[in-house]
Amino acid sequence: MESVQQEIAEWMYRKVEYAGILRQEEVLEHILISYGESFIYVNENGNRSIDKEVKKRFKKLHKGRVAWDRDGFFWAWT
């Protein structure tokens, strides 16, 4: 399970590195297609969200160089 979480985080990093932006919906779609619902949960607002461990690993990879845009539901280089 840990290796899959790392794999998803690395995929996210490569995507934002290449495109400069990464939409949450794109990540959720990738996870559902590639791994099923195991790494997605419904948050307190009733929205689908990415596994917290995946986001933690993604944050370690980008080392603060990527910011989350809360209004637009995407990550982008800072």
Q: Tally the domains of the chain.
A: 1
State residue 1's pLDDT score: 75
- pLDDT string in tens for the chain (78-residue length): 789 999 999 999 999 999 999 999 999 999 999 999 999 999 999 999 999 999 999 999 999 999 999 999 999 998
State residue 17's pLDDT score: 95
Instruction: Classify residue 3 by burial, with Cβ atoms within 10 Å: 0-12, 13-18, 19+.
Output: exposed
State residue 2's pLDDT score: 82
- Residue numbers of the domain that contains 39: 2-77
State residue 6's pLDDT score: 97
- The dihedral built from the CA positions of residue 66, 63, 27 and 52, taken in this order, carries a sign that is negative
Instruction: Classify residue 56 by burial, with Cβ atoms within 10 Å: 0-12, 13-18, 19+.
Output: exposed
Look-up of token digits 């209004």: 71
